[in-house]
């Protein structure tokens, strides 16, 4: 229930002020529940408070695309272990948005 309430804040809050009020209320309720997992989550929210509110300050922009691209680069580097030509590797990185990587498990 608390997880869904926290998710709903992201869907419903339209400004950093309304999000901050809702998050503070969520923290107040979570502290009363006395769950170890919720206490960890409260700590995480408090430690990353400015970054969380940044989601609303910057119009809902996240760094998810950048993180995804960095993961593609890491995957390429793992697959390309041993390449000696740095310029070729650089060109492969620039070509990443044009190709589909397959992850083999």
Cα distance between residue 18 and residue 25, in whole Å: 11
- Helices 49-57, 36-47: axis angle to 10 degrees equals 60
- What are the CA-CA distances from residue 87 to residues 30, 73, 93, 102 (Å)? 52, 15, 10, 23
pLDDT digits (tens, 9 = 90+) for 41-94: 999 999 999 989 988 988 877 788 888 888 988 888 887 777 778 888 888 888
What DSSP state is assigned to residue 63? Answer: S
pTM: 0.62
């Amino acid at each position: 229930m608390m997880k869904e309430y926290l998710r709903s804040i992201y869907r419903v809050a339209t400004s950093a002020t309304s999000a901050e009020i809702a998050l503070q209320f969520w923290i107040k309720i979570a502290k009363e529940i006395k769950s170890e997992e919720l206490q960890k989550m409260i700590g995480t929210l408090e430690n990353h408070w400015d970054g969380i509110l940044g989601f609303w300050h910057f119009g809902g922009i996240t760094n998810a695309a950048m993180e995804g691209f960095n993961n593609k680069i890491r995957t390429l580097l793992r697959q390309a272990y041993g390449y000696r030509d740095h310029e070729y590797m650089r060109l492969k990185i620039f070509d990443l948005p044009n190709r589909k990587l397959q992850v083999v498990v």
